[in-house]
Every structure is written in structure tokens, then in C-alpha cells.
Amino acid sequence: MAYTSAVREQFRNTLKEVEEAGLYKDERYICSEQGVEIVVEYPRGSKPMKVLNFCANNYLGLSSHPDVTAAAQKGLEERGYGMSSVRFICGTQDLHNKLEKRVAEYLGKEDAILFSSCFDANAAIFEVLFDEKDVLLNDRLIHASLIDGIRLCSAQRDSYKNADCAHLEKKLEMWKPRARNICIVTDGVFSMDGILAPLDKIADLADRYGAMVLVDDSHATGFIGKTGRGTPEHFGVMDRIDIITTTLGKALGGASGGVVAGPREVTEMLRNRGRPYLFSNAVPPPIISAALRVIDLVSETTKLRDKLEWNARYFREKMDAAGFRLVPGETPIVPVMLGDAKLANDMARELLQEGIYVIGFSHPVVPMGKARIRVQLSAAHEKEHIDKAVDAFIKVGKKLGVIR
């Protein structure tokens, strides 16, 4: 046994350093279903209390929606709990194929392929499609999974300033003579700032320089755009974005599962060479069954995304009027800027005592000096929930000197 006391001590010291830097991720136990009202045990061992949830990616309130859980139940009963295999051995069901077709159609793409998570999708895609003759140009605020995916690939890489098309153009000019293929990589919605990538301008640049565009639309699919098809729909460029990666783990039911949607050759390459696809178990039947129902729900009506849009606007207006410094935007991700990491954590802790569950974010998740509380609205929030949150923010904000 080589896990000696010296090794244990070494790991403990590292954890201590993390804690001393104020970066320790202290998890709260949720003792209820995921929803607007949740029961949380925090600090550990204390009496669980009922709070309003303002930090889940449950944008459309579908995580515990009765239709969705019923569909999951049906999937469980009819097809069982797990596939006990990867897709190419004996882990593919007709339902997997049906969901891939439905998602592709929903996103306006030729084909789609399912992964266990969008993290896996992003980890798979670059290594399969690009090599040292190619260049990947990524926005500097892309999600960690895209960064990891790019790291796994031998393509040349460079980055441009967040949502800065002038800077992107300089990079395209520089790399154009040095590359076989160039792919611009961006999030559709940047999860820490809640701002949108300017996909219309990016698509124009891509056309001008003959580059591909890959968008991770995980924080947009289902609710951004007039019918919820995401940032490409919002900017009117659904047919000009080559590849979309997204998740079933946020607005689309909130369980798990990732998707790559794009040209058929891309999905076929991933089916044949995508390591996280080839070596991971198939997404289990209850999730596939529930996701099919979710696609029905978001295709039939825009009621939920419309309510979410109203909720986000209402919260932003109220918080702005109260004097909080927000990152301006139009998404249900509303960063309340505080600057100091300790202040962000203190404020989140005090808000929990007021019955509002939010989380403080600090470096390295966000840039140094830009600590914030990220509030996420849901279609499941009612006006009175939002009013209660704003009142709590005002009370705690005044106490901690954030607002006057």
C-alpha cells in the first residue's frame, strides 16, 4: 500500500491551501427534488431548511416536471435502468436514434450524436476533426470542457478576446495563410457573464475567411431565440453555424447527456473515432425517454421560455433599480458583481439564511477581482419568488455595504 501518511499529508496540505485561498467548494446537501423550493442542509449537520433556488441550470423548470418524470418512469419500465454497454457493441436502442433525429431537427442540423455529457462531447470533437494542419481560434471565455477538448487535439491553437470580433478578425488574418482549416470556437452564452457571443458577426467573419464555426450552446438550447433554438436562432444564423454542441443537463430536463449536432460526416466521424463516445456506456433509457418528452414540450409551445424571459427581465430591472451592479444582458444568467471573493461568499451565505440559495464565484472560475454572485432565473419561478429574492438581496446588500 503506497498511500502512505506522507502522501496523505501532502494532499491534506493542498486542500488546506485551497481552503486558505477561499476557494474551497463547500457543497450543500439538497434533501428534496430539484426545483424552485428546495430543502438544503447547510452547514453540514444543521437542520435542513426550505430555500428558494436561484442557482440551478433548471432554466425551463423541467428537472422535476411531472410529464418529464413520467416519461423517465416509462423509459425505466419499458427499457430498463441501464444499457450495460457502449453504443457500438450492444448499447444502441431505437430510442437513441429517435432522440438524435429529433434533436438534429430541433437544432436545424443534418444529424446529431449523443454523449454521456456535453463535457464528453466537447472532449471528443476536436481530436477527431482537427490535426496539426488546422487552427482552432477560441474565445477566451469558453467553457472548461472546450478548453480540455482543444488540449487533447494536435491542432494549432490561439484565442481572441471575449466576444471581440475585431480581435478575432486580426487572428483570422494572421492564421489564414498558415492553416488548412480554421475553426472558430465559442460558447453561445458565456455562463459566468450571461452575455451572448455575437454569432451574426462571427458568421460573417467565418464566411470572409473560410472558417468553420463551432458553438457550445449549453446555456441557450431550449430558451434563447424566439422558439428556444438557441443563440443561432437569436442571431438569425441557424444555417450558418456548422457545429453545435449542447447538453440535456440544463434546460432540457437537467439530468445528463450531451449532443453534437452538425453535418453527417461530423457525427459519423465521432461515432467511429470519438473516444468518450466509443468508451462510455450509452445514455440510459429513462433519460432518453424523458429527453424525447422534453423535446415535445419545448417544440409544442414557447410558454416556458417566454415566462423565463419575463422573469429574467423583471429580476434585472428590480436589482438594477436597487443599485446593484449587474453585467448587462438579456439572458436568465444575472451576475451581481461584487469584486471581492470573500464578500461574494459572505453575501451568498447570508442570503441562504434569508432563504435564497445562490453561490459566490471567484478566481479561477472568473477573472481575478471579478468575484460575483451568479443568479439564475427559471421559468418555474413565480413573481413572488423573485420579489422575495430581490428583498433579500437588498437587506443583505445594505448590511454588507454593497448598496446604500
Partner 1 sequence: MSDDLKRKIIEFIREEYLEDDSMELKDDTPLISSGIVDSFSMVSLKMYLEVELGIKMTDEEASTEAFDSVNSILELVRKKLAEKK
Residues assigned a catalytic role: 191, 219, 250
Contact positions with partner 1 (CB under 8 A) in 113-142: 138, 140
Total residues binding partner 1 (CB under 8 A): 16
Could you write out the three-class secondary structure of the chain? CCCCHHHHHHHHHHHHHHHHCCCCCCCCEECCCCCCEEEEECCCCCCCEEEEECCCCCCCCCCCCHHHHHHHHHHHHHHCCCCCCEHHHHHCCHHHHHHHHHHHHHHCCCEEEEECCHHHHHHHHHHHHCCCCCEEEEECCCCHHHHHHHHCCCCEEEEECCCCHHHHHHHHHHHHHHCCCEEEEEECEECCCCEECCHHHHHHHHHHHCCEEEEECCCCCCCCCCCCCCHHHHCCCCCCCCEEEEECCCCCCCCCCEEEEECHHHHHHHHHHCHHHHCCECCCHHHHHHHHHHHHHHHHCCHHHHHHHHHHHHHHHHHHHHCCCECCCCCCEEEEEEECHHHHHHHHHHHHHCCEECEEECCCCCCCCCEEEEEECCCCCCHHHHHHHHHHHHHHHHHCCCCC
93 binds partner 1 (CB under 8 A): no
Verify binding: residue 325, partner 1, rule CB under 8 A: no
367 contributes a contact to partner 1 by CB under 8 A: yes
Least distance (Å) between residue 136 CB and partner 1: 9
Q: Of the ranges 80-88, 153-161, 219-227, 393-401, which one interacts with partner 1 (CB under 8 A)?
A: 153-161
Min separation Cβ 101 and partner 1, Å: 35
List 113, 150, 172, 182, residue binding partner 1 (CB under 8 A): 150
Binding flag, residue 161, partner 1 (CB under 8 A): yes
Toward partner 1, which CB reaches closer, 61 or 149?
149
Question: What is the pattern of x (binds partner 1, CB under 8 A) and - over residues 169-198?
Answer: --x--x------------------------
Least Å distance, CB 23 to partner 1, is 13
Residue 364 touches partner 1, criterion: CB under 8 A:
yes
Q: Which of 65, 96, 109, 157 binds partner 1 (CB under 8 A)?
A: 157
Near partner 1 by CB under 8 A: residue from 34, 64, 156, 181? 156
Binding stretches for partner 1 (CB under 8 A): 138, 140, 147, 150, 156-159, 161-162, 171, 174, 363-364, 367-368
